[in-house]
Structure formats: structure tokens, C-alpha cells
Chain A
Amino acid sequence: MTWEPVIGLEVHAQLKTKTKIFCGCPTEFGMAPNEQICPVCIGMPGVLPVLNKQAVEFGIRAGLALNCHIAEECHFDRKNYFYPDLPKGYQISQYEHPICENGYLQIGDNKIRITRAHLEEDAGKLVHAGAAGLHGSDYSLADYNRSSMPLLEIVSEPDIRSAEEAAQYLTELRGILRYIEVCDGNLEEGSFRCDANVSLRKLGTTEFGTRAEIKNMNSFQAVRNAIRSEIERQSDLLDRGERVVQETRLWNEGDRKTHPMRSKEHAHDYRYFPEPDLMPLAIGRDWVTAVEQTLPELPVQRRKRYMESNKLSAEDANTLTESKDLSDFFDCVLALGTPAIEAANWLKGPTQAYLKENTLEFTQTKLTAENLHALCAAVASGKLGSTAAKPLIVELLKDGGDVENLIQSRGLGQVSDQGAIRVLVEEVIARSASQLQEYQSGKVKLRQYFFGEVMKSAKGKANPAVINQTLDELLPAVES
């Protein structure tokens, strides 16, 4: 039987505000336990939440970038459940009336619809005593630094059809949130978290199968692997005529499988009701328009510009727009008048390899737009050979410096002097009598030998075009 995967994603994006969503506690990552808490976010009796205006504005900003409708009116609700990471016994969230609705993201040829995006507060973090984890622990330790951090939960429709497409959607979503500077998108630190609803149905049918919710995926690779493994698990079950149970499953990086979550504590009986401690929001269209005017160019628009105005391939445009930092840099290089394709070639191949090798972000390099411009210009003018330019770009990434000076001091300058090259060619011909004879009698492939020898004596710095030109001139004609 051929099964079609039906996947919907829920993303929790932590908004980059300075303070929590309902109190003035700071939002820094990595503080000592319970260092950024106050009576409001640890749920002391009698305290009142007050909504952070910046969190609302970031919600509007994200909604606009995700092609959503921004609600004219909305309010917050209480989601009630009892768990020690939730000091009030309820989470303030938005249930009936989210701030953003009906958006979409274009992924390749598919439009992935976004059902809604709503504002809510995060829960605290629990540390379970002992190595056995939750179920072996006699007690747990609670750190409420994360309690009440502002989140935007972004829920897609089940429009995704493969693990790869899920990863693409997440990459695009994260890219957008980073471009518009509302979220760090850091999966390791948990500022961008993803759960996946996965079900299968017979190919060609429209009815949904029973779904499992997958949690605990901490990287794009984990998302890909977890969804793939879950699709395999469900299709094995269905092939055997068994049924999929609706449940929450956790991805385990160790055995690379999903496992049912044992805890029955999260009974899905949340008894939502409007949060009486917060006044409703009436989002004026003037506010929405004002936010809209501050939206930067989005990745999809940049890719289009790079492909249309700068004639880059789709693949190169993708690579360059993956991070806003890299793309901003590329724009600076373009502004200096550097040819786009040359600049793009240096930024994808050698630069990406360098970043990967040293696990660095682009902003951690010393490369400047001026240097990349100078490098491209030196190669274009023939002053620098492309072989010699490769180690130079690494040096510019690592230590920076002045391109002209480096070419001089490293002796990297390409020799284009026709007289000097002619001397080298003559030398090689003079000491290669037998090769010359073979060449002359028809073994034309030996031309490469001569070229190579000349380049070798020039220590790789001779201008290839000048060598070829000189060889044309000095090699005898081939007897036919």
C-alpha cells in the first residue's frame, strides 16, 4: 500500500523582547536558576499581569510577514492544567481569537497554509533529580526563569507532505522571523521549537488518518529524522492492518525512534476561558499599517531580486539569503559595484566551507565588503590567479587585512608580463626535446604538459591566458 504523509507543524518562537510578556523581568538566556523571576511570573497570589506592548507589535510584525490577517480584536484566555512548570496552574494564551490568522508560506510549488499564530507565555523548566529522568525521580527542581517568556505559537495546516518539506518550511519560517528581527531562531537554546503532527492516508484519498504528535526535536536534522522515522513506523503498522493510536510521542536521538510519552499528566481538558486579568486588545489599522511600513525585504523577495536583477541561480540565491547577515553583506558588496556572480561564488563555495569547517556564523568572520570587492577586482584584472585567490579568501575570513598588501607580501600576484612568461616557455621547450618531437608528430595532448611545466616554473602564478598565447606562438606546428 502506498501511504501519503500528512504533516502539520506547530512552532513556538520566542519573541525577542527585553522583558517577559506579562512582567518586567529580563529575558536573557543562560542565567543562573531563578535569577529572573518576580511575583508575577512565579504566580504569587494577588499579582496582575500587564501585557508587553512590544510582544504585541512583534506578533503583528510576524503575522504580516507570514501573510496573515491581523485580528481587529482579540483577547487572552486561560489554559488550565496542573503541572509544576506552570506556577499559576494555568497558562495565559489565546484560544478562540488569535492575533494572526489565515496566512501562508510558499515552499517551492506548494503553498503551506498557516492556520493561526497566537501570543502566549512560556512555562518554567524542570530538572528531574537522579539519572532516571521524570519517572524515576522522587522529586523535581523548578527554575522559573523561562516562565512567562513571550512566545508566538505558529500553527500550520496539515499541508506538508514529506519530512524534507517540513524542514524547508521550518527553514523558511525561521529565516523570516530572523529577517524581521522578532526571534533569534536558535533551536539549541530553545528560542525556536517545533512539534509535528504526523498521520498517513491512502494515496489519492482526502480523509485524514489518526495522527501522532511528535515532540522533542532539537534541530532541523532531528525534525527530518523524526518525521521520517514516524512515517515509517505508521506505515508498518498500517501495512500489517493495525491501527495508529492518537498519542504524543517523543523523538529519541539515541535510538533514532519516536517513543510514546508515558506521562498521562497532560490530560487534554484545558477548560479555556477568557483571562479576566487582562483587558482585550483592539488593534487599530493605523498600528498595523505603521508596523507594515517597517517590514524589511523578506527572504523570498531578496531571492527574487538576486535571480532577476543579478542573474543568480535559484540555488545560489537560496544560499545567500539563508541568513540575513550574509545577505546584507552581499548587498553591501553589490553596492560597491562588484559583479554579482563572482561575489556570490566566493560567498557560497569557499566561505560556506570555511564556516562549516570552523562552525562559525558569518558575522564571526573578518571579511569586509571592501575586501571581497578588491579580491574580485584583482581576479578580474588578472592581477591575482583564481588558484592563489582561494587561500587568500580564507585569510580574509580569518584575519582580515588589505587585499593589495596581502597580494604583495604573500607574493601571490599573478604574472601577466608577456616577456617573463616567454622566457619560461622557451626554457621548457628547450629542455623537452623528446616531448616536443612527439607533439610535433601528432600527440597534441602534450600541449598540457608544456602548459603544466610553465605553470610549475612560475610557481602557479602565471596568467593562464598569457601562457596559452605564448605556447600558440612558440610551439611548432603539428605535422599532419
Chain B
Amino acid sequence: MKILIADDDRMSRRLIEKTLEREGYEVIAVDNGRLALQQLSLSDGPRMALLDWMMPELDGPGVCREVRKQHDRPYIHIVLVTSRGSKQDVVAGLEAGADDYLTKPWDAAELTARLRVGQRILQLEDRLVEARETMRFKATHDPLTSLFNRGSIVDLLARELKRTRREKGSTVVMLGDLDHFKSVNDTYGHVVGDEVLREVARRLMASIRSYDFVGRYGGEEFLIVLNNCDATEAVARAQEVRNKVASHPVQTIRGPLQITLSLGVLASPDWDLHLVEEILGQADSALYQAKADGRNCVRLAKPTPVHDVPARLVK
């Protein structure tokens, strides 16, 4: 584990460095507070720090205060090491953001024991963060396909539409539905149906750019949001997605199955005055048209004239 030592006293710094190296730490040693803060601000910087109180440029409590302002990186366990041992000093150090306090001259056994306590706290924090991220993923993703779930993909669409309007850009919305999927379930069973959904999800993910979004909108319905996609490219991009799904059979436990996808497509500039629900409604109508036209095809939604849009939907 990486640990930072910041102390302008060469002897103290060297002795701590040696003691901690013996304990297996990867030690980074600096001699002033500014360099300490630089190290602790790095994305892969140390998660533990031993800071001297009095240092040139920025003192130990000052480093603590600056580190605690950083909310975008994992927690750093900070121990202040100093000869200032009054209760007032201890309180001031802890108030500045230190987690622990050691008085010089320190005892090696106490120092390493306190650092082990710090490690346990960091491990606990890591487990909590991991649990939170797992819960966040479960709350926003479909468990079968690992795509965004309906709520999340609709939220992302709303966010992208706002951004698009603000930046006068273009977002392309695709609503896709697997053709004859009910018969897959009825003929081969739901286990095979699930295999198909997982493979289609994988192919959809493979057909978009890293900054686009795909979500499972319903049972066999998928919503795709393409950011900064020119409206003139909307149909071509949708055809690429459709081709990707239909390119080769899906391998299942019951053998290969040819699967196709119908898509309704809409480009946001054509629908600038509409709410998300209305945009999805228009994409759904285009999808319905694709189904009516024989499936495994793409249909572009046609804009409704502005005067036909209900007043409640006009911003």
C-alpha cells in the first residue's frame, strides 16, 4: 500500500520511511506541505499520509483542510505527527481533518499499529463504496442484459435532449423491437428467449459508440440514444444496428436462431418542441410502421406540424 510521508526533518523522514518500508509499505517521502498536497491530489496517489505539523509552504493542518475539500477521490487516512502535544493542538489537528495524531518522538510499534487501524478503516470504506456501486448498478440496469433499465434510459434520453437543445445539436432516438420474439419463447422456452435477449444486447452494445446509450425499454424492446449524431445519418446508423442484429444467427442451447429487429427512428431537431414522452410516442409510431411494412426494417418518424402539437406539450 502506498503511504505518503511529509516532514521537513530529514532524520524523522528517513526513520519513518525505513520503518514503514520494513512493514511493506510503498513509501513516498516529501519535505514540504505543497508537495504533499500534490501527491495526495493525484488520482492514483497514496490513500494514507503521515504529515508533520510544521512544514515549509503549507503546514500539516493546511494540507488536511485542502485534502478534505477534494470530494472526487477516495478517502485518505491522515495521521499528524508532531511534537505539539497539547490538547488544543490535538483538537486543532483533528478539526483540520486529520484522522489520528502521533506525538514525536514516536514509537515504531505504536506507529505501525495505528496505521493498521487506518488500513482497516480504508478497507471498510472500500467495501462500502463497492456495495453502494453494486446497488447503484442494480437500480439502474436490467439484470438479464446488463443494459440500462427503462427508468435509466428514459432519464438519459431526457438529459441528452436538454443538452442537445442547449447546444443546438442533434440526438437520434431509436426504438427497436425483436421480430416474432413471442414465438421464440413459445417454441423454445424462456431460457432460450433469455439467451436471445442477452446476445441481442451484446450486439447492440457492439454497434454503438462508447458515448451512446442502450437500454432495455420493455420485454423485447430496446431504446438507443445516439449523442451528437447528425439527423441525416440517423437512418444509416439504424440500418447498421439492424444489420448487426441480423448479421448471423444467435447460438442457443436449442441451436442457432435467426433473429431480426425492427426500428423506429427519430432525430431530435425535427421534434424540438416535444416532451420526452411525445418523442418516444413518435418513435413508437415509426416502429409500428416498420412492423407493418414487413419487419426487419427501419422507419423514420415524420414530424408533426407544430400547430398540431397539443399546447400542454409545447415548451
Binding between chains A and B:
no
